Amino acid sequence: MPVKCKDRGMFAIPCKIGHLGIKKAICDLGASINVMPYSIYESLNAGFLTKTGVIIQLADRSVVHPEGVLEDVLVKANELIFPVDFYVIKMEEDSTLGSSDLLLGRPFLSTASTKIDVRSGTLTMEFDGEIAPELELEPPRKARKLDIQELEEIRNDAYKNAHIYKDKTELFHDKRIA
């Protein structure tokens, strides 16, 4: 019988965008997009943002409207360079030890052909036939701020719950009361 392992939690990797080194970019298989804070976008002088109608829900259930999408950003991670699209959002600066600056979701992890060995805490990436050296996963050291979910799912749940509420309250409604 295999030994049970504890949850390693989320993990972060170092990467580089242009001249800017990012010590901890959170890798999140639960995120359907890649996210960059507006402050990093400004420091990159990377050009114009493409407008978007996407709404992002954060872990605290608040929603934000991205400033736009920064497309085809070249991100160097583990000695390989990948093209990435980032949703740029304005958010509070967090200068605490162990804070993370970027969120790399499934689009990045898929582009990088990322293979994660959770038990050993290692990750490998591949691009255009070139395999990067194995990278040890580093926990971000604090709870994540971003928990990206599709707003459509939230709307559907709210819609279903509203119908359930309406159906249940109609059972208790006295039809003789006007």
More confident residue, 162 or 81: 81
C-beta separation of 24 from 100 below 8 A = yes
Instruction: Evaluate whether residue 174 is within a structural domain.
Output: no
Mean pLDDT across the chain: 81
User: Is the whole model's pTM more than 0.95, yes or no?
Assistant: no
Q: In this model, does residue 144 exceed pLDDT 80? A: no
CATH number of residue 139's parent domain: 2.40.70.10
**Angle (CA) 150 9 41, round 5°:** 55
Q: In this model, does residue 146 exceed pLDDT 70? A: no
**Angle (CA) 72 63 60, round 5°:** 110
Instruction: Evaluate whether residue 161 is within a structural domain.
Output: no
Query: pLDDT per residue over 17-29, tens digit each?
Result: 998 999 889 998 8
Domain extent for 29: 11-150
Instruction: Evaluate whether residue 34 is within a structural domain.
Output: yes
The encoded tokens of residue 44 equal: 């990159």
Query: pLDDT per residue over 94-112, tens digit each?
Result: 654 445 679 999 999 999 9
The SS3 assignment for 167 reads helix
**Beta bridge pairs of residue 102:** 25
**Beta bridge pairs of residue 25:** 13, 102
The SS3 assignment for 102 reads strand
